[in-house]
């Protein structure tokens, strides 16, 4: 859009001018895996960015020029803080001085598998205190379709300002893939949908300053549903391939070889891989936001429930594999030493949220095994009330009755593992190409 001083009469035009000239003061609520990389991208693009988080220690680390998110380099944070482009605070009153505010807070499930909206509500209550003409608010947390219009909008319009005229509200799903060196915040296309067309225009203009490709859509509901389609697609396809892995195991067929051969089809097939179960903050959780909303509309999300059940069974399947492999060697899980290689929910990251490794360790301990683990990214894990420290490298593999590869981090010395372990259950096909009597694949 082209603006001249003579046309800067509405809140939209003033905001558009500030965004285009990168003088807009940007705010990010929630400085985690999503919020901190986003804050850094906008600061790198020349905006002055203020991050807001409840956790004092995170705020202190950022202001000290440090990073606690693996994909964000401390050097980048330090340079941006030094240049006055990035700062963090626990004080929400700064919103009064900001032009944009992105909400990147957690959206977990309650024990009942219902959405826990308390973090979004808490963040919006703070924004509502300081919402002002010309503010662009964008929800990025993954949530059910309808959240932005039905929950966030009424909270922010309480002051009598009109959305699309006085302030602007969008939903834009975050698609960050932690640990992915090829696709990061900057080059992952950004979908954005506003409550009104003017909101979408503001949102698209905003992201267009710092990110490479913006995909405007017609509504917040479409943008919300895009994220749920993407993650539900993954979750269901992983569920399908996990079920096939169980079938193939029973029939003595190598599922990994089947998938590799099927993936040679140049159209109409996309490979998904089985594993020890789903992990992370997204795939095991997001589809249940959709099934919850769908139930309200009178439709049971049967694919989601089924895939959720199958994926949830995978840690049990892995433990059965371990048990059968030990039984074949006249041993039992009870009294055995089982060593877990990798506890992060996927390779080359340090995140153990919802990691299937935690379930596997718990199940093995319940059956009377002594369990140790090692993970180059995770020094300790919390198991209920107990903290389990990582084993010293080396000895545990040789001493264990069985080693279970749960996470296939790059850099693992699999030749040494094959040479030193008595028995290996490989849930990731990390030992692709190897054959050995002591190797059991998923």
Ligand X SMILES: NC(=O)c1ccc[n+]([C@@H]2O[C@H](COP(=O)([O-])OP(=O)(O)OC[C@H]3O[C@@H](n4cnc5c(N)ncnc54)[C@H](O)[C@@H]3O)[C@@H](O)[C@H]2O)c1
d(CA 285, CA 323): 29
Block residue for tokens 């999300």 = 301
Residue 434 burial (CB count, 10 A): 15
d(CA 185, CA 3): 29
Closer to ligand X by Cβ: residue 1 or 122: 122
CB of 213 to ligand X, least distance (A): 17
Two structure tokens written together for 24: 């807009």
Closer to ligand X by Cβ: residue 83 or 121: 121
435 by Cβ neighbours in 10 Å (0-12 / 13-18 / 19+) ranks as exposed
Listed in order, strand segments (DSSP E) in 197-349 are 214-217, 337-341
Q: Enumerate binding residues for ligand X (CB under 6 A).
A: 29-35, 52-55, 58, 104-107, 119, 122-123, 141-142, 174-176, 178, 281-282
Closer to ligand X by Cβ: residue 106 or 208: 106
Closer to ligand X by Cβ: residue 123 or 338: 123
CB of 39 to ligand X, least distance (A): 11
Check the CA dihedral 32-37-38-39 and report its sign: positive
Block residue for tokens 């903050």 = 281
d(CA 319, CA 315): 6
CB of 427 to ligand X, least distance (A): 21
Q: Which of 193, 170, 146, 28 is nearest to 98 (CA)?
A: 28
d(CA 89, CA 361): 38
Is 170 annotated as catalytic?
Answer: no
d(CA 359, CA 338): 14
User: Are the C-beta atoms of 365 and 319 separated by less than 8 Å?
Assistant: no
Q: Which bin fits 415, alpha (ψ -120 to 50), beta or left (φ > 0)?
A: alpha
CA angle 24, 26, 32 (to 5 degrees): 165
Backbone dihedral angles phi then psi of residue 80, each to the nearest 5 degrees: -70, -40
**For the chain, first and last CA: distance in Å?**
55
Q: Which residue is nearest to ligand X (CB)?
A: 32
Closer to ligand X by Cβ: residue 249 or 280: 280
d(CA 424, CA 397): 10
Closer to ligand X by Cβ: residue 110 or 302: 110
Closer to ligand X by Cβ: residue 101 or 322: 101
Two structure tokens written together for 297: 């509309």
Closer to ligand X by Cβ: residue 101 or 396: 101
| SS3 annotation, 143-195 | CCCCHHHHHHHHHHHHHCCCECCCEEEEECCCCCCCCCCCCCHHHCCEEEEEC
CB of 219 to ligand X, least distance (A): 19
CB of 387 to ligand X, least distance (A): 20
Q: What is the dihedral of CA 409, 307, 104, 384, to 10 degrees?
A: -70
Catalytic residues: 282
């Amino acid at each position: 859009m082209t603006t001249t001083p003579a046309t800067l009469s509405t809140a939209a035009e003033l905001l558009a001018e500030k965004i285009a000239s990168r003088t807009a003061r940007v705010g990010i609520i929630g400085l985690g895996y999503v919020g901190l990389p986003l804050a850094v991208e906008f600061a790198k693009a020349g905006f002055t960015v203020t991050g807001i988080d409840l956790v004092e220690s995170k705020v202190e680390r950022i202001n000290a020029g440090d990073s606690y998110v693996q994909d964000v380099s401390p050097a980048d944070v330090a340079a941006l803080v030094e240049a006055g482009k990035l700062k963090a605070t626990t004080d929400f009153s700064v919103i009064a001085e900001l032009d944009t505010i992105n909400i990147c807070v957690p959206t977990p499930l309650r024990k009942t598998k219902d959405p826990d909206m308390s973090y979004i509500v808490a963040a919006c209550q703070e924004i509502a205190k300081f919402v002002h003409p010309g503010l662009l608010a964008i929800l990025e947390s993954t949530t059910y379709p309808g959240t932005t219009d039905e929950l966030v909008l009424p909270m922010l319009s309480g002051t009598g300002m009109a959305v699309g005229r006085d302030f602007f509200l969008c939903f834009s799903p975050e698609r960050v893939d932690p640990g992915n060196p090829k696709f990061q915040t900057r080059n992952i296309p950004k979908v954005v949908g506003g409550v009104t067309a003017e909101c979408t225009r503001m949102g698209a203009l905003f992201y267009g300053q710092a990110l490479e490709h913006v995909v405007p859509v017609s509504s917040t509901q479409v943008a919300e549903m895009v994220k749920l389609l993407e993650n539900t697609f993954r979750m269901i396809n992983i569920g399908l391939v996990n079920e096939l892995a169980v079938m193939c195991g029973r029939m003595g067929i190598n599922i990994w070889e089947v998938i590799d051969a099927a993936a040679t089809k140049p159209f109409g097939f996309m490979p998904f891989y089985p594993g020890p179960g789903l992990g992370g903050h997204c795939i095991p959780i997001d589809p249940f936001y959709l099934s919850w909303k769908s139930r309200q509309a009178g439709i049971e999300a049967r694919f989601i429930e089924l895939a959720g059940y199958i994926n949830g069974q995978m840690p049990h399947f892995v433990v059965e594999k371990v048990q059968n492999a030990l039984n074949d060697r006249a041993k039992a899980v009870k009294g055995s030493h089982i060593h877990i290689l990798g506890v992060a929910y996927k390779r080359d990251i340090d995140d153990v949220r919802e990691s299937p490794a935690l379930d596997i360790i718990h199940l093995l301990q319940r059956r009377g095994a002594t369990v140790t683990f090692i993970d180059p990214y995770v020094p300790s894990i919390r198991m209920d009330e107990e903290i389990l420290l990582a084993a010293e490298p080396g000895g545990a593999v040789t001493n264990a009755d069985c080693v279970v590869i749960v996470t296939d981090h790059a850099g693992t010395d699999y030749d040494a593992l094959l040479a030193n372990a008595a028995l290996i259950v490989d849930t990731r096909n990390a030992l692709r190409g190897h054959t050995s009597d002591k190797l059991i694949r998923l």
